[in-house]
């Protein structure tokens, strides 16, 4: 049962990072002058989302 929970957590994290990458590339395409700021925000969002995926993995292993 825990493997299913972890799988759902990974799918959620993957979708979130994909949507963040889509938003960042769209923003950089529309306004190239904000590339540095958009990239920084994208990296932070990806790191936080990946951390949540790893927390789900740890919770799955504990329970």
pLDDT-derived band at 2 (thresholds 50, 70, 90) equals: low
The helix/strand/coil state of 50 is: helix
Domain that holds residue 30: 2-62
* Average pLDDT score, the chain: 86
Q: pTM of this prediction?
A: 0.74
DSSP structural state of residue 1: -
What is the C-alpha to C-alpha distance for residues 56 and 62, in angstroms, rounded to an integer? 10
What backbone torsions phi and psi does residue 17 show, to the nearest 5 degrees? -65, -40
Q: What is the DSSP secondary structure assignment for residue 33, as one 8-state letter?
A: G
CB of 42 within 8 A of CB of 20?
A: yes
pLDDT in tens, 34-58: 999 999 999 998 898 888 888 877 8
Q: What is the CATH number of the domain that holds 36?
A: 1.20.20.10
Report how many domains make up the chain: 1
User: pLDDT tens, 28-40?
Assistant: 999 999 999 999 9
């Amino acid at each position: 049962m825990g493997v299913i929970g972890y799988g759902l957590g990974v799918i959620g994290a993957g979708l979130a990072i994909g949507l963040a990458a889509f938003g960042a590339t769209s923003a950089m395409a529309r306004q190239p002058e904000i590339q540095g700021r958009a990239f920084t925000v994208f990296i932070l969002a990806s790191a936080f989302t990946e951390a949540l995926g790893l927390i789900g993995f740890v919770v799955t292993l504990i329970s």
